[in-house]
């Protein structure tokens, strides 16, 4: 096939990894960090209303959604780029800024698509170990910068460990990085940590022309099926990416649902306290069973297996879909998404059965 050298190496490396095995026996799916709650009635009604427009293309630039975001963030609409999920924007960033002479830096174990999209474009991925508290090690990342570094991919809070960086530490870090390097801060889970996170995050894009924040409506806002994500950055950076976007890249139902979700403060508070309460329940139960749980600011937990039998993961995998820590390079851990009340109790029941509690 007429593949370029870079594409050929990539395809050969990833060809066999496409279709996950689904085991029909699985009782619980707790691997994708989705929100266990459905969109509110108010958001569902807004989606139904839009059915009258299904024969029409979406407005190309996401004008109405960018205006709603502009209000929410108190930033000009030109600071926003809408994507078909934040996945699309991650892939665009790599497409625009990377080639086979580039390096990117990622924290060890990071969200796999930051690496994958970089490798699509031939870039070399440099992994930097986390600190002993499973947090991104910012000073080691600064040390890993070379003249070839083009993007530093951070996730805050970090996926898979759930830990968060302090705002001031992250600001200090950004001031040490040359403005020729893109700092992509993926904030897919930040609303679970802070209901007013926009006010905190805004400073990064005001102070630094090379910082781009990635946000999504898939997690906190309960809209994973409708594929809406967005980026926030200074207009010049947004305008550099725009020519590579496929128009129109997002759908009408997703756009109206996202706008309504931004206005629906009741649902936001509901998600925030629901996940907080379920998280507390799971941590209490797991700790009582001798598991060590890393402090999480997200809707998932990263759990140590130290004190449990070596076949625990295999047995749990017979009944539950979750992420084995091995997948991220942490063999004695597993990551579990916080489910609904029923699922979380069922999970604890299954775990107790496996360890004969």
What is the x/- site pattern for ligand PLP, positions 183-202, by CB under 6 A? Answer: ---x-x--------------
Query: In the 8-state DSSP scheme, what is residue 243?
Result: G
Per CB under 6 A, 87 contacts ligand PLP: yes
Asked if residue 327 binds ligand PLP (CB under 6 A), the reply is no
The candidate with the shortest Cα–Cα distance to 109, out of 73, 141, 136, 133, is: 136
Nearer to ligand PLP, 186 or 191 (CB): 186
**What does the block give as tokens for 332?**
């004695």
Candidates 39, 77, 85, 122: give the one binding ligand PLP (CB under 6 A). 85
Q: With CB under 6 A as the contact rule, which of the stretches 1-9, 84-92, 136-144, 254-262 interacts with ligand PLP? A: 84-92
Q: Cβ 217 to ligand PLP, closest distance in Å?
A: 7
34-63 footprint of ligand PLP as x/- string (CB under 6 A): ------------------------------
CA distance 120 to 112: 12
The rounded distance, in Å, linking the Cα atoms of 296 and 354 is: 24
Give CB contacts under 8 A, 24+ apart, made by 321-327: 321/23, 321/26, 321/28, 321/29, 321/30, 321/31, 322/30, 322/31, 323/31, 323/160, 325/160
Spatial distance between the Cα atoms of 263 and 340, rounded to a whole number of angstroms: 24
If binding is defined by CB under 6 A, does position 159 make contact with ligand PLP? yes
Q: 10 Å Cβ neighbour count for 6?
A: 15
Least distance to ligand PLP, CB of residue 224, Å: 6
Check residue 149 for interaction with ligand PLP (CB under 6 A): no
Asked if 298 and 33 touch (Cβ cutoff 8 Å), the reply is yes
Closer of 91 and 351 to ligand PLP (Cβ): 91
Answer yes or no whether residue 261 interacts with ligand PLP by CB under 6 A: no
The answer to whether 111 contacts ligand PLP (rule: CB under 6 A) is yes
Lateral strand order in the sheet of 124-128: 80-83, 229-232, 211-216, 182-186, 149-155, 103-107, 124-128
Q: Which of 224, 238, 283, 355 forms a contact with ligand PLP (CB under 6 A)?
A: 224
86 contributes a contact to ligand PLP by CB under 6 A: yes
* Euclidean distance between CA atoms 99 and 88, whole angstroms: 18
How many residues touch ligand PLP (CB under 6 A)? 13
Residue 230 touching ligand PLP (CB under 6 A): no
Q: Is 299 in the site for ligand PLP (CB under 6 A)?
A: no
Element (H or E) spanning 320, and its range?
Answer: strand 320-321
The least distance separating ligand PLP from the CB of residue 155, rounded to whole angstroms, comes to: 5
Span interacting with ligand PLP, options 2-10, 61-69, 79-87, 197-205, rule CB under 6 A: 79-87
Among residues 205 and 354, whose Cβ is nearest to ligand PLP? 205
Cis peptide bond upstream of 242, omega within 30:
no
Q: Which two tokens stand for residue 230?
A: 């967005």
Which residue of this chain has its Cβ atom nearest to ligand PLP in the complex? 85
β-pairing, 103-107 vs 149-155, is parallel
| Residues contributing to the site for ligand PLP (CB under 6 A) | 33, 85-87, 111, 155, 159, 186, 188, 216, 218, 224, 229
């Amino acid at each position: 096939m007429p593949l370029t050298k870079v594409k050929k190496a990539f395809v050969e490396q990833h060809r066999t990894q496409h279709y996950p095995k689904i085991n029909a026996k699985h009782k619980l799916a707790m691997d994708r960090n989705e929100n266990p709650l459905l969109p509110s009635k108010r958001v569902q009604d807004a989606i139904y209303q839009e059915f009258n427009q299904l024969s029409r293309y979406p407005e190309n630039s996401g004008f109405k959604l960018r205006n709603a975001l502009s209000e929410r963030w108190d930033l000009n609409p030109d600071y926003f780029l809408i994507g078909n999920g934040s996945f699309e924007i991650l892939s665009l960033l790599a497409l625009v800024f990377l080639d086979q002479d580039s390096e990117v830096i990622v924290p060890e174990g990071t969200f796999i698509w930051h690496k994958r999209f970089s490798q699509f474009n031939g870039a070399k991925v440099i992994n930097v170990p986390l600190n002993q508290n499973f947090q991104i090690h910012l000073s080691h990342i600064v040390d890993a910068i070379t003249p070839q570094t083009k993007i530093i991919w951070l996730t805050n809070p970090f996926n898979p460990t759930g830990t968060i960086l302090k705002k001031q530490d992250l600001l200090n870090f950004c001031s040490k990085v040359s403005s020729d390097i893109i700092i992509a801060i993926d904030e897919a889970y930040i609303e679970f940590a802070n209901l007013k996170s926009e006010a905190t995050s805004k400073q990064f894009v005001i102070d630094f022309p090379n910082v781009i924040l990635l946000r999504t409506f898939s997690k906190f806002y309960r809209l994973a099926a409708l594929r809406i994500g967005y980026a926030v950055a200074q207009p010049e950076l947004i305008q550099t990416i725009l020519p590579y976007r496929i128009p129109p890249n997002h759908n009408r139902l997703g756009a109206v649902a996202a706008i309504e979700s931004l206005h629906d403060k009741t649902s936001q508070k509901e998600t925030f306290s629901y996940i907080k309460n379920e998280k507390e329940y799971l941590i209490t139960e797991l700790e009582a069973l001798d598991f060590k749980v890393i402090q999480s600011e997200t809707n998932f937990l990263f759990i140590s297996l130290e004190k449990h039998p070596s076949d625990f993961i295999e047995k749990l995998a017979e009944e539950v879909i979750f992420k084995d820590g091995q997948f991220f390079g942490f063999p004695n851990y597993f990551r579990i998404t916080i489910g609904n009340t029923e699922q979380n109790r069922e999970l604890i029941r299954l775990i107790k059965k496996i360890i004969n509690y």
